[in-house]
Chains A and B, each alone.
Chain A
Amino acid sequence: MDALDQLKSKYLDGIAQAPDEAALEDLRLAALGKKGEISLKMRELGGMSPEERQTTGAALNLLKTEIDAALRAKKEALADAALDARLKGEWLDITLPGRPRPHGTIHPVSQVMDEVTAIFADMGFAVAEGPQIESDWYNFDALNIAPEHPARQEHDTFFMARAEGDNRPPHVLRTHTSPVQIRAMQERGAPVRVIAPGRVYRMDMDQTHAPMFHQVEGMAIGRDISMANLKWTLEEFCKAFFEVPDVELRFRASHFPFTEPSAEVDIRCSWAGGQLKIGEGDSWLEILGSGMMQPKVLQAGGIDPTQWQGFAFGMGIDRIAMLKYGIPDLRAFFESDLRWLRHYGFAALDLPTVFGGLSK
């Protein structure tokens, strides 16, 4: 069997030293090709005795497999080496910028409206809407604000022009989202729970006021809904919205024509280091107005106040956005300064949900 051992070391040495694929192919042909040494030896098996054929045959097959495996391994090694050599030349400056992708943003007002909607939807409130140009009946009278009521003057109302000969009272740009209370009652009846976010308008323009801003109205009507329910609802909302484990709200008696009793609602906070923290500290921050719906308002909405009762509240969207996200100036909300939009805006896919969290 010396001959086979010699054959084996000859080819394995040859494969190991083959410089390239061509040399490897020559070796393959010389060993395993049709006229290769091993192939020729295979043919000789026919002339052997059965016993001899069995042992020699097995040995030859083993040798063939070994050489074949060595060829393949060497081939792959050569290919790897070639690839390595190529890749060494394929260097790019990977610090160059990627191809540009635009980055859009969602305005804080839209984001916060979505947050508010997510929270109240979870508490069973639908979303109601109403027109922004309103009749004075919906904006005032139906809400128990009589024409001569001082509050009607204090509302700093924008009035729409009236054509000559049109003697109806002028329409107004709604001064609050409260007229949606009336429309929602008329459309949905009782019991009902809705919020109504949207644009509102007042003749005011200074450091902290803009002639347009956003409110969210809330309204819940049932058989025995109480001011204590209102407080709970607002507590739950504030916890969820400000993303704190606990809040403390303080109801202060106040006056709105459309609620009775009425309360301004303060939230406990601290301003330590100029940073607002909700739910701790010794300061109180007024965040909204609320109360039990005035019977006349229920009546205006077509609901019998002897059978039903409910609460309503109104809150500034821009204001709670400013508080939550530390945005200093209201007027900047409406200036569309690209730097502001990018800085305070939200990613398109940051859709606030109750289950996934409101903010990142």
Chain B
Amino acid sequence: MKFTLSWLKDHLDTTATLAEIADTLTDLGLEVEEVVDPAAKLAPFTLAKVLHAEKHPDADRLRVCKVLTDEGEKTIVCGAPNAREGITVVLAKPGDYVPGIDVTLGVGKIRGIESMGMMCSERELELSEEHNGIIELPSGEVGEKFTDWLAENRPEAIDPVIDISITPNRPDALGVRGIARDLAARGLGVLKPLEIEAVPGGFPSPVRPVIDPALKARGCPVFAGRLIRGVTNGESPDWLKQRLEAIGLRPISALVDITNFFTYDLNRPLHVFDAAKVKGDLSIRFAREGEEIVALDGKTYALHPTMMVIADDNGVESIAGIMGGEASGCTAETTDVFLESAYWDPITIAAAGRALKITSDARYRFERGVDPAFTLDGLELATQMVLDLCGGEASDVVVDGAIPDTSRAYRLDPARVISLVGMDIPEAEQRRTLTALGFTFTGDMAHVPSWRPDVLGEADLVEEVARIASLTKLKGIPMPRETSGVPGVILSPMQVREKTARRTIAALGYNECVTYSFIDAASAALFGGGAEATRIENPISSEMTHMRPDLLPGLLQAAARNQARGFADLALFEVGPAFAGGEPGEQALQATGLLVGASAPRDPWGSRRSVDVYDAKADAEAVLAAIGAPARVQINRKLDAWWHPGRAGNIALGPNVLATFGEVHPKVLREMGVKGPAVAFTIRLENAPFPKVKTPTRPALVLSDLHAVERDFAFVVDTTVEAMTAVNAAHGADKALIAGVSVFDQFTGPKAEEQMGAGKKSLALSVRLQPKDKTLTDAEIEAVSAKIIDKVSKATGGTLRK
């Protein structure tokens, strides 16, 4: 919303400075986006008088002038044809910045004669395009500031333009008068009265509005208008053109300019029909299927039966409340004009405007809500201006419908206002504020003015009082914790778990990523997603059409991007939600790590090797341990399709999968453009059970003074036998005595098969025996060993390697 300072002063009697006004507007909630003050750039220039002018001795076109300035007589060389004795000019001195030529003046020497400044043209001061000569002022004293002269004689030339952004709740501030009212309520001036005088009609209007009953209740409760005949639709007067130009509107013709003026001045959009082009009465109705209109912007719009139109016997003439039609638009030839002032339902207008994708000043205002009570007053004021600027004779006013009743009142509770805002605003001041904003009181009930559709409850009264009192003045008041002493735990166990997982994974050497929650359909499909329920109806790009079913695709895409930048070795992770469906709550927290390439950079120690499944497994186990998942788990191969079927596994408690680790399926890597090797782990953070009993007490530490005995065993087994089978079997041989079993070697491959037979491998176990009450004898050790060999052989179908 743009307006000029002088325009504001049409409504506000104030002595406040521009800066005060701008600061106050922002504080009031009418946030100033920009202030353009032409006077600022003209501040240095003063008036001067040419005492004497003669031709430059060395240049035909230059004159050497003796100029009387506030600093005495100066010599100025000037090329303007009108530089001559006796004229009053605008002087720029050395050191002044001349905006129109983007130059800071120095003392010039022109063809041998020193020149102490310049006399400016309008273009050089950005006042107009005029550059045929220097400015000659008809009045003014030597030394007078040029801005003062302009303020006196050409105020519009230095009229500051203020641009404010209006929140959707304040349609009243979409007119200059509404802005003035806010400032007056704050005490920055006095709101001038608005004189409304009815213009008597001289004849009945030949055009009448008829509102379709379907619209009367809501869409268009009232439609008023009148014919004005014998008008001359020429150019608007300068003051009107200057106003509109100042706020970025192009003057078109007096009739159109008048409607634009009222739109901005009083938030009262109007429309003018060329009555000669209107056939029959005006019917206000919903559009009919298949109807079209060429609107004033020259574009053709197909209309829908939910949109309101104004039609005559020729068809649709105007998209109601949004944009008029070209066919009945006013032109320079227009002599009879039908002036419309109506109230349109905001919701219906907003829907139509959105569907048609038309942004117009009228739509913008009607969809936020104009003052319905001002419909007829606006018509009268506009009629007067048409008569003043275009001449003619007005008909009687014709109205269909009635102004809707928006009257309502809410209780002002001054104590509650103080309690909510935390500012001591006296009751009298609260009432004064609301009264200044147009509220009226009966007792403690505040009646809402018709131009404030946003005020719908007591809370709105509080807001108005607080806003006018100035929130800038609000002083903070401490708010102690609800309980004193040491605060209790703030985070939920799951929140703690999420943070633990995140920092553990980072400590393992992964870089945390935050990738988008939505991915492309193809990637989603690779990871079991892409279902219709997870589709976004209005995605921003084809890369972001579905909610991610898993965190891995996002990380793989990130890996591919980094590989394209030349980074081959990556350790990336993310902790965040994956979406199984499209309902609220169908999201699960994952922590996913991805290792790509080599485990380490090349170095003299040979640290570099390809990442493999056991890297991923170790990291998954480290995270599970950190979040307190049970230590005893199963490993299974019931894998999702995006894992390598032979080189991945789930860490599970029965059917409850806590985590998956392993190689990413080579096909998935290929489709996602990632160069392998790539291994990953996914922790389903919500799946690990929390301990049933939470106590900080540790179980007692049992230490034996007796030496433990370690015995090693190697078994020849089929290559497909899993180490865990052997380890579990060995454990089971003597649960009391065996304190630990670990795999310390495996021997596989062609060389192993050469030694042990095709399809065979060797697994080497180390078993730790911990005696409890006496040292083991050789015989006892032998007995346990025999049992271990027996159990492992039975469980694995293997034999002790001799």
Contacts and interface: CB of A to CB of B under 8 A. Distances in A.
Interface of A: 96-97, 99-107, 109-110, 114, 117, 121-127, 129, 131-135, 138, 148-151, 153-154, 158-163, 170-171, 173, 191, 193, 199, 201, 203-205, 211-212, 220, 222, 224-229, 231-235, 249-255, 260-264, 292, 294-296, 309, 333-339, 341-342, 345, 347-349, 351
Given A229-B422, A253-B467, A124 B513 contact: no
A255 B512 contact: no
Given A104-B508, A173-B536, A335-B561, A341 B502 contact: no
A334 B491 contact: no
A309 B477 contact: no
A260 B514 CA distance: 34
Interface stretch (B21-29, B431-439, B666-674): B21-29
Contact of A225 (B460, B479, B481, B503): B479
Given A162-B537, A170-B537, A233-B479, A336 B354 contact: no
Interface in B468-515: 471-472, 474-479, 481-483, 487, 490-492, 495, 499, 502-515
Given A235-B476, A336-B515, A227 B537 contact: no
Contacts of A121: 487, 490-491
B603 A201 contact: no
Given A158-B539, A161-B582, A261-B462, 7 more contacts: A104-B571, A117-B491, A211-B540, A229-B478, A232-B479, A336-B562, A348-B507
25 contacts: A96-B604, A99-B607, A100-B607, A102-B508, A103-B509, A104-B505, A104-B511, A104-B512, A124-B487, A132-B517, A133-B584, A148-B346, A159-B536, A159-B537, A171-B584, A205-B541, A226-B419, A226-B420, A253-B471, A255-B169, A261-B421, A334-B516, A336-B558, A338-B511, A348-B503
B: interface residue count bin: 35 or more
A152 B787 CA distance: 74
Sorted from nearest, which 6 A-B pairs have the closest CB atoms? A102-B509, A228-B422, A226-B422, A253-B29, A232-B476, A336-B558
Contacts of B31: 252, 254, 264
A220 to B, nearest CB: 7
A335 B562 CA distance: 9
B533 A160 contact: yes
Contacts of A125: 490
A199 to B, nearest CB: 6
Nearest to A198: B577
A96 B507 CA distance: 24
A138 B583 CA distance: 13
B347 A148 contact: yes
Nearest to B516: A212
Nearest to A139: B584
Nearest to A133: B584
A249 B509 CA distance: 40
Contact of A334 (B515, B534, B604): B515
Nearest to B607: A100
A127 B544 CA distance: 29
A134 B168 contact: no
Given A133-B587, A232-B477, A252-B31, A193 B482 contact: yes
B466 A253 contact: yes
B481 A123 contact: yes
Contacts of A205: 540-541
Contacts of B471: 227, 251-253, 261, 263
Contacts of A161: 532-533, 535-537, 582
Contact of A100 (B350, B419, B499, B600): B600
B81 interface: no
A260 B465 CA distance: 11
Given A170-B537, A252-B471, A253-B27, A127 B495 contact: yes
Nearest to B584: A131
Interface string B600-614: 110111010000000
A171 B582 contact: yes
Given A97-B604, A193-B482, A253-B466, A229 B477 contact: yes
B586 interface: yes
A292 to B, nearest CB: 5
B585 interface: yes
A153 B515 CA distance: 26
Nearest to B463: A261
Given A97-B603, A252-B471, A337-B565, A348 B540 contact: no
Contacts of A263: 471
B472 A251 contact: yes
Nearest to B567: A338
Given A161-B537, A251-B472, A127 B511 contact: no
A30 to B, nearest CB: 44
A264 B422 CA distance: 17
Given A127-B492, A148-B347, A254-B167, A228 B475 contact: yes
B510 A104 contact: yes
Interface string B571-586: 1110111010011111
B578 to A, nearest CB: 11
A337 B562 CA distance: 6
A18 B124 CA distance: 106
B570 interface: yes
A261 B466 contact: yes
A163 B533 contact: yes
A341 B511 contact: yes
A148 B350 contact: yes
Contacts of A337: 561-562, 565
Interface string B535-569: 11111110010010000000100100110010100
B459 interface: yes
B367 interface: yes
B217 to A, nearest CB: 16
Given A110-B512, A220-B479, A227 B586 contact: no
Contacts of A204: 540
Given A253-B28, A260-B460, A335-B561, A228 B515 contact: no
A338 B518 CA distance: 21
Contact of B584 (A96, A135, A232): A135
